[in-house]
Amino acid sequence: MPKVIEEAEILSHGIPIAGVDILTLAAPQIARTSLPGQFVQVSVPVHGGFLRRPLGIAETSRADGWIRLIYRQVGSGTEALANAAAGAYVSILGPLGHGFNTSLKHPLLVGGGMGLTPLLFFAATHPNVSVLMGGRTKEEVFWEEIYRPHVRECFIMTDDGSYGTQGFVTTLLPQLLAEGDYDGIAVCGPPVMMERVAVIAAEHGIPCEVSLEKRMACGLGACLSCAVDTKNGRRKVCKDGPVFPAEEVYDAL
């Protein structure tokens, strides 16, 4: 798939909770060719550093030519990006990476925290998808409102029980798989959560894909900074992933 560099105008900034930003950018070429699970490398204002930041694509509009990124401020780069005003321009390289299998009839998306970002793109482009989402508190599952228009069912877990069902996504997952008609799982979130989800999926005989996150510099597979060990040898998250079959990644499967 061709990769392009676009000078993208910032159309809007939203702040659903403190420290999290929803950034909408005019990037018609990338919007036209992006697939769920892919990401972009975004330049940041000069005081935020020199390297581009890898951010998962949360939504696109091919008709209107925009892409949407949802990210947490975790350092100088993302903080500088969050402070950029609407009307400013940033350079975007993409779309990058290998995405999810979207040919499933009824996939279950399982996400925790900011791992719900790339899964949203999947939900927005699939006619029959359900989501199991988790967060520490009610505030952290602000995703519900964003996902609701796109999904058949939305199951919510919070660590403290302030909203939805108390517990982790792995608490409810076995019941959902036993009672539902899901033919595949796509998961993104904390590493421990993803591995446990993959094990539960395997126990129920359901294929599972995981979206890995690693620090990366080039995003093109040249610098090797994002290499991980898999059953098929060393793989590059930016080029061979970020989406991998779970059985390729985890020794327990």
- For 96-119, the pLDDT digits (tens) are 999 999 999 999 999 999 999 999
CA distance linking residue 234 with residue 41, whole number of Å? 22
Q: What are phi and psi of 236, to 5 degrees?
A: -100, 120
1 pLDDT more than 70: no
62, 213, 13, 138: CA torsion to nearest 10: 110
pLDDT at residue number 225: 82
Per-residue CA distances from 29 to 2, 25, 71, 122 (Å) = 10, 12, 21, 19
**Closest Cα to residue 190, out of 113, 252, 138, 88?**
113
Q: Which residues, listed in sequence order, are joined to residue 46 by a DSSP beta bridge?
A: none
- How sure is the predictor about 62, in pLDDT bands with cuts at 50, 70 and 90? very high
* CA-based radius of gyration for the chain: 17
- On the question of pLDDT at 202 being above 80, the answer is yes
pLDDT at position 47 is 63
- Non-local CB neighbours of 175 within 8 Å, separated by 6+ positions: none
Is pTM, for the whole model, over 0.85?
yes
Please give the Cα distance from 192 to 197 (Å, whole number): 9
CB 172 within 8 A of CB 155: yes
**Residues belonging to the chain:** 253
How far are the Cα atoms of 172, 231, 236 from residue 252, in angstroms, in the given order?
Answer: 21, 11, 21
- Among 118, 129, 197, smallest CA distance to 157 is for 197
Q: In this predicted model, what pLDDT tens digit does every residue of 42-59 receive, in sequence order? A: 998 766 566 888 999 999
231-248 in b/e form (b: 16+ CB < 10 A) is eeeebbbbbbbbbbbbbe
Q: Highest mean pLDDT range out of 177-181, 218-222, 237-241?
A: 177-181
pLDDT at residue 44 in the model: 83
